[in-house]
Structure 1
Amino acid sequence: MIAVAGLIIVFASVLGGFAMVNGPFAMLLQPAELIIIFGAAMGAFITSGTACSLKLSLKGAGHAYFGKTPSKADYLELLSALYALFAKINREGVISVEKDIEDPASSPLFRGLAKNKSACLFIGDTFRVYLTTGSIGELDHLMSVDMEIMHEEEMVGAHNVAHMADSLPGMGIVACVMGVVVTMGAINEPPEVLGHHIGAALVGTFLGILLCYGVFGPIAAKMENQAREQNFFFQSIREAIGAAMRGSSPIIALEYGRRSIPMSFRPSFLEMEQKVKG
């Protein structure tokens, strides 16, 4: 909802400033200009994409408005689930968590993390490899590869939307030029008619720039930030599992995970300890 609030501020500021100078709002209502700009930009966006990249772009844009990134509470739930998993492995051996990683939704170990299917799958796949091979030598590299692919996939949508945003000022100029062409065709009309046509043409440039820097550019930036914050979440999992597999005690392995959390979301050791004991 933060993104929605940001958009409201953008349009309120632009339209509010326009109203302060007694700007005629009727002149801003130019459906033809909007169709030219937005339609051409969307057409170019579709032309440049693939079925997969377009799907990722739409999914990422929707998540930018209505999704959420990991919070401090989410990190605490993660640390709690990892501690429960490591403690059980430490007591009963790694084979004891086979059922838990196969069905996280019904496992008491993943009670607070089950809704995050990507994280559960990441943890489960890592331990499945260890259960199958008994080797920890490649686990860290496997987690690194998995994280890199997930991050790159999330960035595809952000880059596509950013490219679309970059095209909007150019599309605004196209609409403006077409408006000038219409104006030149009415060169013998009275000044008030010519003024209306020129104003309509300039609205095209205005809309292209506003949509670029006020709407789609920020959406692309938000998608990039979300991808980075999601990567932080999985980096914490990677560090904790890596430490546990190297033989660290559950609490030390958990501390590796906690120390890799960005300071903005990192719980204190006391908060982590209280969550784990709870």
Structure 2
Amino acid sequence: MFQIIGIVLLFGLVFGSFIMSGGKMDVIIEAAPHELMCILGAGIASFLISNSMTTIKATAGGFGKIFKGPKWNAADYRDLLSLLFLLTKTMKSKGVIALESHIEKPHESTIFGRYAKITHDHFAVDFICDTLRMMTMNLEDPHQVEDAMEKQLEKHHHEALEPAHALQSLADALPALGIVAAVLGVIKTMGSITEPPAVLGGMIGGALVGTFLGVFMAYGLVAPFALRLTSVVNEEGAFYKIIQAVLVAHLHGNAAQISVEIGRGNVPSPAQPSFAELEEALSQMPNE
């Protein structure tokens, strides 16, 4: 919502100030189509040249995140803590063998099945199951498990940030591409140097539109999009850090209730359930 308001304000205030100061939109409107063709065409071409197909597809999908925001909300964090509570409680009371059926086929698990949104996140499910699988193989050193989990998180986060980096690279290139378009306009103007000053003035003004559009799109649109996408990816990454915190706390010998309380402390403040809210959610769960 705020992104749409920001875009409206961006165009309204920039072009509104130009009009209020006596500027004529005719020159910009006339020059914009071919200037945009040059700038955006070169920008898209450089984007395709410099990125893999995976990154290109992820960038296209990233625009949904820019406008929708992080996929996880307060209820999802509460569900995650409840899921981890069930898993660690089962492991404590029944042993790691009792978890094998749940971690080998999580989509058929009665525990995972209670939390459909989490189950549909492949990385979250794999991250939980792979870690629990290591524990069933008697890898119970908390420091080794934490290190292995940290490397998985770093890899996932690095890959998730690729679209944001690609957008930022495009934003860095657009001002220079705007200059390219402007130079082409100046070359065109110099080829018509015998024209009267009024005509030459219009041609130079049209050429400068290229510089304006390159800078405007870079710092007004694409760079903020890249920054917003980075912020969303970082917020979503906090969800997976909770998994690490709870499972490592469990390996340190803490009770299930204590482990999820440690995890609750790491939940971002806007989405963090209170102690009472989490306790109520846990008390309402049927025994597994």
The answer to whether TM tops 0.5 is yes
Partner of 1:135: 139
In the TM superposition, 1:195-206 aligns within 5 A as 195-206=201-212
Partner of 2:176: 170
Deviates more, 1:36-45 or 1:61-70: 61-70
Partner of 2:123: 118
Partner of 1:16: 16
Deviates more, 1:3-12 or 1:235-244: 3-12
> Contact 2:249/2:262 (CA < 8 Å) preserved in 1?
yes
Residue identity opposite 1:185 in structure 2: G
> Contact 1:161/1:217 (CA < 8 Å) preserved in 2?
yes
Is the counterpart of residue 211 in structure 1 residue 217 in structure 2? Answer: yes
How far residue 2 of structure 1 moved from its aligned partner, in angstroms, is 4.2
> Contact 1:162/1:216 (CA < 8 Å) preserved in 2?
yes
TM-score, length of structure 1 as denominator length: 0.91
Change (3 A) 1:204 1:127: same
How far residue 96 of structure 1 moved from its aligned partner, in angstroms, is 1.6
Is the counterpart of residue 232 in structure 1 residue 238 in structure 2? Answer: yes
| Structure 1: distance between partners of 2:283 and 2:216 | 52
Partner of 1:156: 162
How far residue 147 of structure 1 moved from its aligned partner, in angstroms, is 0.1
> Contact 2:28/2:209 (CA < 8 Å) preserved in 1?
yes
Unaligned stretches of 5+ residues in structure 2: none
Corresponding residue to 1:46 among 16, 29, 48: 48
How far residue 8 of structure 1 moved from its aligned partner, in angstroms, is 2.8
| Structure 1: distance between partners of 2:68 and 2:41 | 24
Change (3 A) 1:125 1:215: same
Q: Deviations over 1:143-197 (max 9, x none)?
A: 1111010011112222121111001001111111111111222222233322221
**Counterpart secondary structure, 1:23:** coil
Change (3 A) 1:109 1:205: same
Partner of 1:99: 101
| Structure 1: distance between partners of 2:76 and 2:3 | 21
Q: How many equivalent residue pairs?
A: 277
Deviates more, 1:161-170 or 1:192-201: 192-201
> Contact 1:60/1:154 (CA < 8 Å) preserved in 2?
no
> Contact 1:37/1:171 (CA < 8 Å) preserved in 2?
yes
TM-score, length of structure 2 as denominator length: 0.88
Change (3 A) 1:243 1:13: same
Partner of 2:6: 6
> Contact 1:155/1:227 (CA < 8 Å) preserved in 2?
yes
| Structure 1: distance between partners of 2:44 and 2:16 | 28
Partner of 2:251: 245
Q: Deviations over 1:45-94 (max 9, x none)?
A: 22222334334433434432345342222211111111122222222222
Partner of 1:271: 277
> Contact 2:70/2:236 (CA < 8 Å) preserved in 1?
no
| Structure 2: distance between partners of 1:73 and 1:13 | 38
> Contact 1:69/1:229 (CA < 8 Å) preserved in 2?
no
| Structure 2: distance between partners of 1:194 and 1:251 | 77
How far residue 22 of structure 1 moved from its aligned partner, in angstroms, is 4.8
Deviates more, 1:208-217 or 1:62-71: 62-71
Is the counterpart of residue 34 in structure 1 residue 40 in structure 2? Answer: no
Unaligned stretches of 5+ residues in structure 1: none
Is the counterpart of residue 187 in structure 1 residue 193 in structure 2? Answer: yes
| Identical columns (%) | 36
| Structure 2: distance between partners of 1:204 and 1:97 | 62
**Counterpart secondary structure, 2:270:** coil
> Contact 2:70/2:235 (CA < 8 Å) preserved in 1?
no
> Contact 2:250/2:256 (CA < 8 Å) preserved in 1?
yes
Change (3 A) 1:104 1:20: farther
Change (3 A) 1:121 1:47: same
Change (3 A) 1:105 1:18: farther
Deviates more, 1:24-33 or 1:250-259: 24-33
Residue identity opposite 1:168 in structure 2: L
